[in-house]
Chains A and B, each alone.
Chain A
Amino acid sequence: MGVFQRIFRVGQAEVHAAIDKLEDPIRLTEQGIRDLKKDLSNAMTSLAEVKGQGIRLRKQAADSKKAAEDYERKAMALLQRAQKDDINPAEADRLAGEALARKEENVNRSATLSQNAQQQEEMAAQLQTQVDKLKSSIAGYENDLVTLRARARTAAATKKINRQMAKVDSNGTLAMLERMKERVEEDESLSQAYGEVADASKSVDEEIDAALQEKSPGADKLAELKNKMGIQA
């Protein structure tokens, strides 16, 4: 591996590490949910438009069907009038033929519109599935976010405690208390050593004086016993 490539990889690793530090899982999840909601909002708008188009086409199909029925009724009325000699039979035939032609046009238009409406409705059903799926995903992620927030709070609190504990262990109170204990022990040892040195430096005169001054605790008892026995001290 070339030097430059290695340097590049080190740089890459450092950048990744820096970005990892910047990534806040809670904020990123919240943003992700917002993005999903935006997608859902757009999908819902599209669905509304497709459904609206379906309604419009169904209405137009119904209107065309009604118009076809009207033309057929009119054609029949024309023929009935011709039978009653109210109008010229040839003219009635011509007009009735025209009416039937328009009836056919409307029947065909109604069929085409119904077919288009059917397509729109199928598309709406597909979109509805996607919208439902997105809604379900968002609800799932929102539930996850609640758990994630709780876990992040616990992790932050644990991290803080552990950091405090780590600080205390190295140069905190525990170390100080240990030092104080050692110092007291040092002082005790020192005082004992001074005592021994002081004992060792007593002179012979001082010992004699001390012996003279010191009264044996049993001396009085001894004199009392000698007196009782009649022995002269």
Chain B
Amino acid sequence: MNWNPFKKKTDEVDPVVDFTLSDLKPGYVVDYDLKTWKVTAKNHYDFDGDRVDEWELTCADDVLYLEREEDDGLGWSVSRKVPISRIDGDPRSHIVEHEDPPEEVTCDGVAYYAESSDAGEFYKDGEGTPRELITWEYLDDSERKTLTIEQWGEDDFEASVGEIVEEYQFTDILPTG
């Protein structure tokens, strides 16, 4: 029997009560933009060693993607998927013809300018076999609004629009067991 009454009891771990945005996991709940969101998935991208984490946030009538990127400090952004047809100028055909979308695109009346492009891998739920993708990132004049075009395979395109956010905009992070 290993029981030793004189053995010093190790200190109990302090229960965690202060969560940060980076602690988000599926099932957690967070408040943002006057709505309560539930984390429904956590994925990540790997762009040649540069990791980008992505959380899928769901509320009653909306789905939001929160991204964290380490690039000269921690950067956060949120985006919503939009049909690529909403982007003026048919970027799909442009990519097929020129292997790149136009330098400038317009979506819902906002002009966006090419910022960067990257090839990487996407890990659904952070595990399993990755899917390869190419992304093109755009920013508007204010450099706060974002637009992303993603190419998955030969002819599968997705687009999303969003904005740069700050960590303090997210409050009341609550865990689940």
Residues of A within 8 A of B (CB): 34, 37-38, 40-41, 44-45, 47-49, 51-52, 54-56, 58-59, 61-62, 117, 128, 135, 138
Q: Output the least CB separation between B177 and chain A (Å).
A: 5
Q: Is the interface of B mostly helix, strand, loop or mixed?
A: loop
Nearest chain A CB to B36's CB is how many angstroms away? 5
Interface size on B, residues (CB 8 A): 20
Identify the B interface with A (CB < 8 A). 12, 14-17, 27-29, 36-38, 58-61, 172, 174-177
Interchain nearest-CB distance for B24 vs A (Å): 11
Complex-state Cα separation, A44 to B19, whole angstroms:
11
A48 and B60 contact, CB distance less than 8 A: no
Contact sample, A vs B, 7 pairs, CB 8 Å cutoff: A41-B17, A47-B29, A48-B176, A55-B38, A55-B58, A58-B60, A138-B17
Q: Which of A37, A49, A62 contacts B14 (CB 8 A)?
A: A37
* CB neighbours of B175 from chain A (8 A): 41, 44-45, 48
* B174 close to A54 (CB less than 8 A): no
Task: State how many angstroms separate the Cβ of A96 from the closest Cβ of chain B.
Answer: 28
Q: How far is the CB of A198 from chain B (nearest CB, A)?
A: 73
Note all chain A residues with C-beta closer than 8 A to B28: 48
The answer to whether B16 touches A59, judged by C-beta atoms less than 8 angstroms apart, is no
Query: For residue A47, which residue of chain B has the nearest CB?
Result: B174
Q: A44's closest neighbor in chain B, by CB?
A: B174
Given contact pairs A44-B175, A48-B27, A48-B29, A37 touches B36 in the complex (Cβ within 8 A): no
